[in-house]
Amino acid sequence: MKESSIFEKKSLRFLKQKNPNWKELAKDCVSFANTEGGTIVIGVEDTEMLPPIGQVIQEKEVELIRKQISYSTLNVSFLVSLVIVKNDSQYIQIVIEKNHNILASTSDGRYYYRNGQSCKAIQPEDLARMFSERSGYVWEAKESTVSISEVYENKKRTFINNIRNSDRISEFIREKSDNELLEYYFLQSKGYLTNLGILWIGQRHHRALMQYPPSIQVIRYNAQGDKIWKLVMDEYYENPKELLERVIKEVPDWEETIEISDGIFRKNIPIYPIPIIRELVVNALVHRSYAMRGDIFIRIKPDTLEIESPGSLPMGVTPQNILSQTKRRNEHLAKVFYDLGLMEKEGSGYDEIYSLLLMNGKPIPKIQDQDDKVVVSIQKNVISKEVVQLMDELQTQYNLSKKQLLICGVVSQEQSLSFNEIGTILNLSVDNELTALVQHLSKINILKKTGNTRGTQYSINPILIKELNFKVKTTLKNIENHRLEELIYKDISSYPNSSFAEIHQRIGEEINPKRIKRFLREMVLNGKISIIGMKRWARYTSK
């Protein structure tokens, strides 16, 4: 029993206090209800798997918790029970259900959501987003007035055949009747189509009358910012799968490639690989907000590709943690896409995008979360053809995991990164997992470690670079400590009374500024240079 986004432990000391912190328990219950639901156990220490031997809990204590949660929360559905485990000890278990339609709150009007292992307050400006997400869930499964007989039979038959032929479903699902399959995927209910059913197998005029049916615009721009080509898909004939297929088939830009020499051979790399386009469009269709108006825009510019979808990211997901946080805004639509093989498993879509971009020598995507839209941008040009060759060799010669390849990709592009910088760029928590990944890459001589403690930098091993004939642009990021100290001293001697910013700019902006500041402090303490002023007004002079 390890704490997670859906599980939390509390010591029994919480209950034995003279004045238990019921507000804290209420906050936990509300945050679970507003996210994915979850379980709270009282009577198990954080570091333990089971309660203490012989621990006995009175029924009146269980009843007290029931009453306090009821008094201090609103719209929270929960079940409190007494659990007896194999060592004959007891603990209290609180199971909180996820709220699909309404927001839960504390009795004093505060809203919370679960983010990893912590509870976060929902700020007033985010309440509208939370309410819209609840509406989005209702939107999928809500019954319409359209009879199941009023569908496009060819779309219905195609959907059923594709599901039955999918390798992602069990035999239990495959053996269901046609109507049972439609009900299982929430496309129909009690003889009527749901909104999801209209979206997938309904007729054009029914789809057009939906509040916010999906439509896609693909626009190409020239260097002056003028529109030179446009594909608009707003006729409402296509379901989401057909919209995706049209984007892939009818946009000629996906066929463009860049040629890279590989010895006597030539390798053509797609400028915008189809798997990346597919995954980005699927994300836009599945995770957009269907509670607000807006088209999906695909903007093809001379140097970038932008995909814009209506609605902001789900609560708890940010551009910084998008690789590790998994939230589904439209659960039933996501289930259909996954079972049809149109998207990767939950939580792995952006992993795949990052991996493909880095393997093709491109930077990771830029993600902007705005009030009413999410914009994902990827660069057209590769950073370096040599990086592509290096990543090819690493993938061919070493049995690396996807996360290890991601680390190699960002390090090869940036040429040198600290442990924390790797974790920040790839949204990998600086914990045992990242440590193990980096240590393994160092052990097999792919990464080279330079420096100690906070100044430690990782780069691609020069020996490996030489073996692979990988040409690296000269940089000062990995300059040895004694050379860096001498470089700083010579700069200050030539330019007395210099600020830190001036020194950093002159000796090399690619060098980690924290590393330079550390050397400046040490040189001042050693009496090698002198300092006048403090903080931003500090000036350095050699002695």
Q: Is pLDDT of 58 > 80?
A: yes
Q: Distance between CA atoms of 365 and 358, rounded to whole angstroms?
A: 10
Model pLDDT for residues 324-374, shown as the tens digit of each residue: 666 777 889 999 999 999 987 655 667 788 888 888 888 889 998 877 789
Q: Is pLDDT of 228 > 90?
A: yes
Contact 301, 256 (CB under 8 A): no
Fold of 7-122: 3.30.950
pLDDT, mean of residues 59-65: 90
What's the pTM? 0.70
Q: Is pLDDT of 91 > 60?
A: yes
Supply the DSSP string of 215-244, one letter for each residue: -EEEEEE-TTS-EEEEEEE-SS-S-HHHHH
Sketch the domain layout of the chain as residue ranges: 7-122, 124-381, 385-467, 481-542
Q: 404-439 in b/e burial notation, b at 16+ Cβ within 10 A?
A: bbbbbbbbbbbbbbbbebbbebbbbeeeeebeebbe
Model pLDDT for residues 415-474, shown as the tens digit of each residue: 788 888 888 888 766 566 788 888 889 888 889 887 766 667 888 888 877 766 655 555
Q: Is pLDDT of 265 > 60?
A: no
Range of lowest pLDDT (172-181, 258-267, 327-336): 258-267
pLDDT band at residue 125 under the 50/70/90 scheme: low
Same fold, 385-467 and 481-542: yes
CA neighbor of 356 nearest in space, from 367, 343, 365, 369: 365
pLDDT at 470: 58
pLDDT at 357: 87
pLDDT at 542: 87
Look up the CATH architecture of domain 124-381. 2-Layer Sandwich (3.30)
Kindly report the CATH class assigned to 481-542.
mainly alpha
CA 61 to chain centre: 41
Kindly report the CATH class assigned to 385-467.
mainly alpha
pLDDT at 269: 79
Which range is most confident: 196-200, 440-444, 519-523? 196-200
